[in-house]
Amino acid sequence: MVTELTVFLVSTLIKIFLVIGVLLGLVAYAVLAERKVSAAMQDRIGPNRVGLPFVKARLMGLGQPLADAFKLMLKEQFVPGHVRGFYYNLAPMLAFLPALLAICVIPFAGVDPIHLPGLSLAIPQPGVIANVGIGALLLFAVTSLGVYGIVLAGWSSNSKYAFLGGIRSSAQMISYEVAMGFSAIPVFLISGALSLPQIVDFQIERGWLLLPFVGKQFDWHLLFLWPSLLLSSLIFLVTLFAETNRAPFDLPESEQELVGGYNTEYGGMRFGMFFLGEYAALISASGLFVTLFLGGWSLPFGLLGTATSLSTFFLQALVFLGKVCLLVFFFMWIRWTLPRFRYDQVMTLGWKVLLPLSMANIVLVAILLAVFGGTP
């Protein structure tokens, strides 16, 4: 007898394996894509030698992530003599975990129950691992834990470069977290929800918050709110760059001054964990931006709006994946285009520009909503 609980447990397990599998695959290929994109932008060729093992097929270097993974795993796990052992081992795990947890509340497809042929019970919430009512808050809370891995890595390495990198990174992350939270508030005010699936549903009906004219029905309220939403999304995007320590905000690991920053003393798979964590954070950050501003898994004008069968469900997931990949490409594009900020410029931008702007934006949106008489 199939009970509701077993359906829930089994479907959740499948979702977890699916999402984490796709995430790790995406991380591996994001690393390759980064190298390819940088190569293209600097008029080089990039990695193109590694294909399938034991065969002569090169496949334009698509086997590179496999080779990278094996290299990292087979390297000697060397621990320098001067580190603080326990924390030194703990830090890479703490750096990797928050990004994985964050992905749990991001909806990658519709959440309406799906009926499978041959199964009497519907699958609850197929499109998200955990459908939490305050998903957005939870996501911010979990991502704010990412600082620990970096602080501990910097401190436990017991070396000046790593320590400076760790301190810089945590100061940067704490500073930009505030502006990030504030810049997301207009989205919550307008959609009237903290739950990410509900925000996506709102965008399907009324138009994506970045492109308000692609909803099922045209809503002139959103046109008035559009300038604020553009500003809000811009601030959010910039803070995402800073939160994920990506160029032009890659101060924590600026090679020219700090060797490798907080991960200077790490090697082998421990270094690999930091690397994976960084890219996983990048992907979940892109997922969050897509969910908040780009309509999540939906297509314009309510196409693919409701999933009734498994095939539309997978189409929705593919749309979401496509949007995330585009945004990840955008992140790489910026990284290889802009030079790095100076440290005081980073702090000035965060505290004196982005924070007041995002606060003023909240007030403006609140006044507009009050004039319209609540959520449009």
Partner 1 sequence: MEGILFWFLALVLLGSAVAVITNRSPVASALSLVTMILALAGLFGLLGAYFLAAIQVWVYAGAVMVLFLFIIMLLDLKAEEGMPLRALGVGAGLFLVLFLGVGIWHAIPASAWEANGLRAAVSNDAASIGHLLFGAYVLPFEAVGFLLLVAMVGVIVLSKRDV
Give the interface with partner 1 as residue ranges (CB under 8 A): 87, 132-134, 137-138, 140-142, 144-145, 147-148, 151-152, 155, 163, 167, 170, 174, 177, 194
8-state DSSP, 134: T
Task: Compute the least distance from the CB of residue 311 to partner 1, in Å.
Answer: 33
The 10 Å Cβ neighbour count of residue 89 is 15
Compare residues 90 and 364 and give the one whose CB is closer to partner 1.
90
Task: Compute the least distance from the CB of residue 213 to partner 1, in Å.
Answer: 29
Compare residues 200 and 307 and give the one whose CB is closer to partner 1.
200
- 312-317's contacts with Cβ under 8 Å and 24+ in sequence apart are 312/110, 313/109, 313/110, 313/114, 313/126, 313/127, 314/109, 316/108, 316/109, 316/110, 316/127, 317/108, 317/109, 317/127
Residue type at position 16 = I
Residue type at position 164 = L
Compare residues 152 and 354 and give the one whose CB is closer to partner 1.
152
Task: Compute the least distance from the CB of residue 137 to partner 1, in Å.
Answer: 4
- Cα separation, 108 vs 17, in Å, equals 14
Compare residues 105 and 276 and give the one whose CB is closer to partner 1.
105
Task: Compute the least distance from the CB of residue 84 to partner 1, in Å.
Answer: 8
Are the beta carbons of 284 and 191 closer than 8 angstroms? no
Task: Compute the least distance from the CB of residue 214 to partner 1, in Å.
Answer: 28
Compare residues 68 and 265 and give the one whose CB is closer to partner 1.
265
Task: Compute the least distance from the CB of residue 373 to partner 1, in Å.
Answer: 17
* Local structure of 303: helix, strand or coil: coil
Compare residues 175 and 233 and give the one whose CB is closer to partner 1.
175
Task: Compute the least distance from the CB of residue 144 to partner 1, in Å.
Answer: 3
Task: Compute the least distance from the CB of residue 62 to partner 1, in Å.
Answer: 38
- Cα separation, 338 vs 360, in Å, equals 28
- Cα separation, 242 vs 185, in Å, equals 18
Task: Compute the least distance from the CB of residue 201 to partner 1, in Å.
Answer: 16
The values of phi and psi at residue 123, to 5°, are -85, 120
Compare residues 11 and 143 and give the one whose CB is closer to partner 1.
143
**114, β-bridge pairs:** 123
Angle of helix 135-143 versus helix 196-206 axis, rounded to 10: 120
Compare residues 155 and 208 and give the one whose CB is closer to partner 1.
155
* Local structure of 360: helix, strand or coil: helix
Are the beta carbons of 191 and 225 closer than 8 angstroms? no
Cβ neighbours of residue 20 closer than 8 Å, sequence gap 6 or more: 100, 103
Residue entry with tokens 């760059």: 241
Distance set, CA 9 to CA 14, 97, 125 (Å) = 9, 22, 12
Compare residues 39 and 189 and give the one whose CB is closer to partner 1.
189
